[in-house]
Amino acid sequence: MVFTSFDFLIFLSLLFPVYFLFPQRFRWVLLLAASGYFYSYLRLSYLVYLIVPTLVIYGIAVKLEAMKPGPWKKLLLFAGVISGLACLLLFKYADFIGRSVYAAGGIFGGGGKYEPFNFILPIGISFYSFKLVSYIIDVYHERLNAERHIGYFTLYVSFFPQLLAGPIDRAVHFIPQLKKKIRFDYDRVVSGLRLTAWGFFKKLVIADQLAAVVNQVYGNVHNYAGVPLIAATIAYTFQIYCDFSGYSDIAIGVSRIFGFKSMKNFDSPYSSTSIVKFWNNWHISLTTWLRDYLFLPIAYAVMGKIKSPKLAGIKAETWGYAGGMFITMFLGGLWHGARWTFVLWGSVHGIFLIFSYITKKTRKRAVKKIKLNRYPGLHKFVKVSITFGLVAFAWIFFRADSISDAFYIVTHLHTGLAAFIGDAAEAFLFNLSLKPAIDLIARLGIPVVVLNKVIIAVIIMEGVQLVQRKTNIDTWFSRKPLWVRWSCYYTLLVIILYWGRYDIKEFIYFQF
Amino acid sequence: MTGFLALGFFILNGYGYLTLHSDALSNTLSWKHILAAVKKSKKSLPSGASVVILGDSIGQQLFPRETVPNSLISNGAVLAVGHYILANNAIKRNKNLKYIVLVSAPWVLGHQFEWELTYNCFMKPFYTFENLRHISKPLFEKINKRKMTHRVIFPFVKTAPCFSDINLTGTRKKPREILSDTALEYLKKLKNLCSENNIEFIVLSPPIREEWRRKTNHWEKMKIQVAQIGLDDSFKEYFKRMIYLDDSYFRDHVHMRSGYIDVKKNRAGIISRILPQQVRVGLYRPK
């Protein structure tokens, strides 16, 4: 079931009253049944790939907890991690690995043609597999006790709002909530509904409308050069943010309606002042997962291998950071999809992060030298712009259909740029005409009236996020007079229903 | 909660109403061209105009609504009932009308109400409180088969993109070589309406593929049907003036290629062949 379908709205409006009328101690049964129905609505067989690893991990965790530290416990942990990832590796990466091996074989003179398995990838598998892995590792490290209640554990893995595209909540955070008494709280439900509506706004009004521009240009990259490529890349930068953060808002909002607190997944990432901060604010549940279960172990392992304080004149700490970061971002890219474009996207970010780490002092000195630090506003603007530019640039690799398309875009971004700026400036200054811009919009495959709506929607979104950065918007908004709140609700409703696009049924992150 | 819903209903429908009546907002509707025909039908034609042209999308190629002042052409999916409502609007506002001409390919008149385009092309533009009196009992029964279809009477459902479509049929019906029930009923009504107002009702066909002549034996069955229901007068010129063209003249087996029809000489030639002299005078030189 997809959040943006009418079926989901009906499902939610039926489940909600039943849930609060249900006896507290059996609510998990209701939620589990609802989650099973929600997932099997897409395809019944998906349930098997969800239930089998969940039961295996449940059993391993209970056994793991009872074992004493030693090689057998480590072995069991390894078995647990592999079990958690088995379906993911098989369904998502088997063909990718096969193709890559055959391609490499071809380079080195091997022959043959790879016959792909063409498995159907169960939606959400990347997300729930990571939940399983984090759980088993946390049990191993005794950060939490193995959950004995199989229903609670299964519900943690399969809780429907988080099932298809996260947030990748941790068991230590989620399972205790199942054991607490949840009462109907009007304010909490309203707050959840607000966040859900906000998610729909981002997804339907901004992301899905921008998809027209992005698909038009990225689907035929060789027909475009210069400004259209830049415009489509910026459009994609907003599309992917609104699509995924919109999904997360709906997931968190729906969880809140049912009384559950989910972890935050986005925190105005495009207003970050550095790449490091961008990653602290983008897909937070994945970033923290990668940090805790990949980056830190790798970084410590690398540092542990270097016995002296420096190696080749570089600090061991820097080696640890660079090694850990590059491998993490490489694998993070691969997590998004079994394609080299994703790997390249992750690697580009890895390079950005390493470069940012090693040039930190130099950049600080440069800022002081040009006295930019005397103008904090301007300094922040420059930092945000550079970060946004780098992030948008990296999205090219993420969105392009192939590596060759990505390189075509990168090498043609500047083509005709100066001429366009000259024409646009001349038309505007001497004739007060926007013709070059209007011609460009026509080439992008989006009507001007729709583009205007999207621009207004983006301005509204940025305005809300500006308030969000300064204060708790939920509390701030709740204190507003009744007529203000209701006017906002209705405006949002009209915008979602009238300005939204309803023919795109999926979220971008479903494919991951 | 009730207050919230009631106010929401009012606001959403208000915005829908605004969308229907604002050119800028209605520009994004998928059925904007039909709405344009409806709006045009509610305005007076140029003073002294004696002809109104209705018709399908092939007719639109001959008499573009945007440039021909007398043209209220929408498309074939509005069915005969849509044409009837447009004619009714035009008759009310234009006292000098002498001819109402329906330019429609024969198989288009064969389309049943249960057609995949009916919801967006007929129900959304024409199923309004104002037009309910034109909906006959048999037609209402057809609409009633899908209960949710009635909600389209509200401006919100008509205009919000989340209510994009209801497939009233589920399967695509093949074009018919006889008039559909709805066409039979509403062509007769249209004829009566015209008679009551001393207007001549003429049905004409745009050019169609040569293949149809052989397949239907020059519309043998339809001719019999027309005679049976007493529409011979209106169809007098229909089969006589029908133009069959080779398939190479059509871009999709239905609509003529723009390279052909956009040539002024070709269009004028077709119009002079299908349109009776007296109608041509009323069309191009309104008194």
Q: Tell me: the pLDDT tens digits for B50-107?
A: 889 999 999 999 888 888 888 899 998 899 999 999 999 999 988 888 899 999 999 8
Q: Give the per-residue pLDDT at B173.
A: 56
Q: Give the per-residue pLDDT at A243.
A: 93
- Put simply, whether B162 touches A (Cβ < 8 Å) is yes
Whether pLDDT at A470 is above 90: no
What fold does the segment set B31-281 form as a domain? Rossmann fold (3.40.50)
Q: Is B254 exposed, middle or buried (0-12, 13-18, 19+ CB in 10 A)?
A: middle
* B48 contacts B286 by C-beta, under 8 angstroms: yes
Q: Give the per-residue pLDDT at B53.
A: 92
What is the rounded CA–CA span in Å between residue B205 and residue B59? 8
The residue that leads in pLDDT, B164 or A415, is A415
Q: How far is B35 from chain A (nearest CA, A)?
A: 17
Q: Quickly tell me which residue has 């009504």 as its tokens.
A: B189
Residue of A nearest to B15 (CA): A494
Model pLDDT for residues B179-236, shown as the tens digit of each residue? 888 899 999 999 999 999 999 999 999 999 998 888 888 888 889 988 888 888 889 8
Q: Give the per-residue pLDDT at B286.
A: 40
Most B CBs within 10 Å: which of A3, A8, A497, as the mutation test of the B interface?
Answer: A497
Q: Quickly tell me which residue has 């026509």 as its tokens.
A: A442
Contact B12 A501 (CB under 8 A): no
- Cα A127 to Cα A55, A131, A141, A512: the distances in Å are 17, 7, 21, 8
| pTM of the model as a whole | 0.83
Size (chain A), residues: 512
Whether pLDDT at A445 is above 50: yes
The residue that leads in pLDDT, B86 or B172, is B86
- Put simply, whether B159 touches A (Cβ < 8 Å) is yes
Residue A310: which H helix or E strand, with range? Answer: strand A310-311
The residue that leads in pLDDT, B172 or A272, is A272
Closest CA to B181 of B84, B113, B107: B113
Q: Give the per-residue pLDDT at B287.
A: 39
Contact B156 A490 (CB under 8 A): no
Contact A449 B11 (CB under 8 A): no
Q: Give the per-residue pLDDT at A134.
A: 94
Residue of B nearest to A204 (CA): B162
Q: Quickly tell me which residue has 């939606």 as its tokens.
A: A123
Quick one: tokens of B235?
């169809």
Which one of the listed residues A173, A283, A336, A412 is annotated catalytic?
A: A336
Q: Coil, strand or helix: which one is A314?
A: strand
Contact list in B for residue A495 (CB cut-off 8 A) is none
Average pLDDT of the segment spanning A35-64: 90
- Put simply, whether B1 touches A (Cβ < 8 Å) is no
Helices (runs of H) and strands (runs of E) counted in chain A: 25, 2
Strand partners, B256: B250
Quick one: tokens of A72?
């057998």
Contact A498 B8 (CB under 8 A): no
Contact A447 B12 (CB under 8 A): no
Active site residue A336: yes
Q: How far is A270 from chain B (nearest CA, A)?
A: 30
Contact list in B for residue A9 (CB cut-off 8 A) is none
What is the rounded CA–CA span in Å between residue B221 and residue B176? 11
Residue of B nearest to A486 (CA): B4
Whether pLDDT at B171 is above 70: no
The residue that leads in pLDDT, A371 or B170, is A371
Average pLDDT of the segment spanning A228-234: 92
Does the CA dihedral B127-B133-B139-B143 come out positive or negative?
A: positive
| Nearest CB partner across the interface for A449, out of B12, B27, B159 | B27
Q: How far is A493 from chain B (nearest CA, A)?
A: 8
The residue that leads in pLDDT, B278 or A485, is A485
Average pLDDT of the segment spanning A103-116: 71
- Put simply, whether B129 touches A (Cβ < 8 Å) is no
Phi first, then psi: give them for residue B209, nearest 5 degrees.
-70, 145
Kindly report the three-state secondary structure assignment for every residue of B44-62. CCCCCCCEEEEECHHHHHH
Strand partners, B71: B53
Contact B161 A450 (CB under 8 A): no
Q: Give the per-residue pLDDT at B285.
A: 47
What is the rounded CA–CA span in Å between residue A224 and residue A218? 9
Model pLDDT for residues A307-325, shown as the tens digit of each residue? 887 777 888 888 889 999 9
| Residues whose CB falls within 8 Å of the CB of residue B97, separated by 6 or more in sequence, listed in order | B49, B50, B51, B52, B90, B91, B197, B199
**Pairs of residues, one from chain A and one from chain B, whose beta carbons lie less than 8 Å apart:** 34
| Nearest CB partner across the interface for B11, out of A450, A490, A500 | A490
| Nearest CB partner across the interface for A490, out of B8, B27, B160 | B8
Whether pLDDT at B172 is above 60: no
Q: What ipTM describes this predicted complex?
A: 0.72
Contact list in B for residue A497 (CB cut-off 8 A) is 12, 156, 160-162
Contact B11 A447 (CB under 8 A): no
- What confidence tier does A118 reach under pLDDT thresholds 50, 70, 90? confident
Average pLDDT of the segment spanning B17-41: 89
Model pLDDT for residues B115-153, shown as the tens digit of each residue? 878 888 999 999 999 999 999 999 898 888 877 788 889
Residue of A nearest to B155 (CA): A498
Residue B145 identity (one-letter amino acid): K
Q: Give the per-residue pLDDT at A430.
A: 84
What is the rounded CA–CA span in Å between residue B182 and residue B81? 7
- Put simply, whether B166 touches A (Cβ < 8 Å) is no
- Put simply, whether B7 touches A (Cβ < 8 Å) is yes
Whether pLDDT at A374 is above 50: yes
- What confidence tier does B264 reach under pLDDT thresholds 50, 70, 90? confident
Q: How far is B19 from chain A (nearest CA, A)?
A: 10
Contact A494 B164 (CB under 8 A): no
Contact B160 A498 (CB under 8 A): yes
Whether pLDDT at B278 is above 80: no
Q: Give the per-residue pLDDT at A108.
A: 65
- DSSP string for residues in chain B: -HHHHHHHHHHHHHHHHHHHH-HHHHTT-TTHHHHHHHHHHTSPPSTT--EEEEE-HHHHHHS-TTT-TTB----GGGHHHHHHHHHHHHHHH-TT--EEEEE--HHHHT--SS-TTHIIIIIHHH-STTTGGG--HHHHHHHHTSGGGGGGGSHHHHH-GGG----SSSSPPPPPSS--HHHHHHHHHHHHHHHHTT-EEEEE---EEHHHHHHHTTTHHHHHHHHHTT-TTTTTTTTTS--EE-GGGBSSSSSBPHHHHTSHHHHHHHHHHHS-HHHHHHHHS--
Q: Give the per-residue pLDDT at A169.
A: 92
Give chain B's mean pLDDT.
Answer: 86
Q: Coil, strand or helix: which one is A311?
A: strand
Q: Give the per-residue pLDDT at A45.
A: 84
Domain segments of chain B: what residues?
31-281
Helix pair angle (B79-93, B181-196), 10° resolution: 10
Q: Give the per-residue pLDDT at B185.
A: 92
- Cα A72 to Cα A54, A83, A178, B5: the distances in Å are 21, 16, 32, 62
Q: Give the per-residue pLDDT at B174.
A: 57
